[in-house]
Amino acid sequence: MEMVEVTARLCQRLGLPRSSGQIFGLLYLSTQALSLDEIAEALEISKASVSTGTRQLLGWHAIRQVWKPGDRKDYYEVQADLGELLRANYLGFFRPKLDASKRKLAVLQELLDADLKSGSLEATDYAVCKERLESLTRLQSRIQKLLPLAEKLL
Amino acid sequence: MEMVEVTARLCQRLGLPRSSGQIFGLLYLSTQALSLDEIAEALEISKASVSTGTRQLLGWHAIRQVWKPGDRKDYYEVQADLGELLRANYLGFFRPKLDASKRKLAVLQELLDADLKSGSLEATDYAVCKERLESLTRLQSRIQKLLPLAEKLL
DNA sequence: CAGTTCGTTCAATTTACACTGAACGAACTA
DNA sequence: TAGTTCGTTCAGTGTAAATTGAACGAACTG
């Protein structure tokens, strides 16, 4: 499968484990749900890697676990709606990070003010720093406004 | 500097070298341009790391190189307008990747059609795969439309 | 209860990569 | 020309992360 290679490369470019990308690529073009063993065999990687990989993908809501009646095996299939996938990850991952960064920026502003009052910072230097921090804050809030919009369009 | 720590963590979360983040954080709140040696000393890392780090940041247009008259040293300062930074990286990096992914998707569609004609794929399986690839293509073009808009808003 | 068949966990290995020190070339200086 | 002062390059080192095989526990089966 060509698709496996594409998603594998995408993942490792993003700093994520390559094997997770392989698994997703395989499942994305698979007609039926695959068991852990089938995935391991198809990709020629160990069962252990598949086990950890599937748990990661489950955490990102990228795949789902399904069961077949009278079969103890776990089967996996993709969450085919990628828009839904992006939404879920935005809410569960990016959103909290963005909120945290906003708080962090406020802390930095306070530290800067403290440095000015304690005399450890020249007034002109203070002005430059303050302007830059405010620029960052403006960018941060613009991003926070943009993402819900992007969420709608995807 | 607290800022150095923040940007360093941001970088390594993105799978980028931590030291590049440190350099950017240092320069972002520095009032004047700093030389390679000054950066190395302030961050307690080797000159070699600073040399490679600055070249990375230059490649992303995140910092600029400036010179002082009668001084052979290279000095570095941030590209303070982060909106401009994002724009430049979109045009020089994301945009080409997006175009490439579009072509890649077209290739995959062709491969799929070929598999159908060669009889190595059931018609029902073909339908599922085709639908999923088309879903990917739709997402791809939505992203390609969204990014120029985002570019304006940031 | 012994024997399978699952998935997970854990220690160990391998791999990938950031980082460093030392060597180097270029551009100046005396 | 010999000697500095820069920045870069490169081989070697250290370390964090991915991957694996083996051991394990749980859920079934005969």
pLDDT(B154) > 90: no
Across A27-38, average pLDDT: 96
**Contact call for A135 and B82, based on CB within 8 A:** yes
Nearest to A23 by CA among A41, A38, A10, A4: A4
A113-151 pLDDT tens trace? 999 999 999 999 999 999 999 999 999 999 999 999 998
- What pLDDT, on a 0 to 100 scale, did the predictor assign at position A98? 93
Residue B95: pLDDT band with limits 50, 70, 90: very high
Encoding tokens for residue B98? Answer: 């997006």
Sheet bearing A75-78, strands edge to edge: A34-35, A75-78, A63-66
Across B93-99, average pLDDT: 93
**Residues 47-106 (A) with a CB less than 8 A from some CB of B:** 78, 80-83, 104
B14-34 pLDDT tens trace? 889 999 999 999 999 999 999
pLDDT(B13) > 90: no
- Tokens 């030291």 -> residue: B19
Mean pLDDT, chain A, rounded, equals: 94
A75-111 pLDDT tens trace? 999 998 999 999 999 999 889 999 999 999 999 999 9
Across A47-61, average pLDDT: 97
- What pLDDT, on a 0 to 100 scale, did the predictor assign at position B30? 95
Taking one residue from A and the other from B, the number of pairs with CB-CB distance under 8 angstroms is 64
Chain B residues in contact with A93 (beta carbon < 8 A): none
Give the minimum alpha-carbon distance from B21 to chain A in angstroms, rounded to a whole number: 15
- What pLDDT, on a 0 to 100 scale, did the predictor assign at position B153? 87
Percentage of the residues of chain B whose pLDDT score is greater than 90? 89
**Full 3-state SS string of chain B:** CHHHHHHHHHHHHCCCCHHHHHHHHHHHCCCCCEEHHHHHHHHCCCHHHHHHHHHHHHHCCCEEEECCCCCCCCEEEECCCHHHHHHHHHHHHHHHHHHHHHHHHHHHHHHHHHHHHCCCCCHHHHHHHHHHHHHHHHHHHHHHHHHHHHHHHC
- What pLDDT, on a 0 to 100 scale, did the predictor assign at position A82? 92
Sheet bearing B34-35, strands edge to edge: B34-35, B75-78, B63-66
User: What fold does the segment set A2-78 form as a domain?
Assistant: Arc Repressor Mutant, subunit A (1.10.10)
Give the minimum alpha-carbon distance from B51 to chain A in angstroms, rounded to a whole number: 23
Chain A contact for B121 (CB, 8 A cutoff): no
Domain range summary for chain B, segments of one domain joined by +: 2-78, 82-153
Residue B1: pLDDT band with limits 50, 70, 90: confident
Q: CA of B67 and C1' of D22: distance in angstroms? A: 61
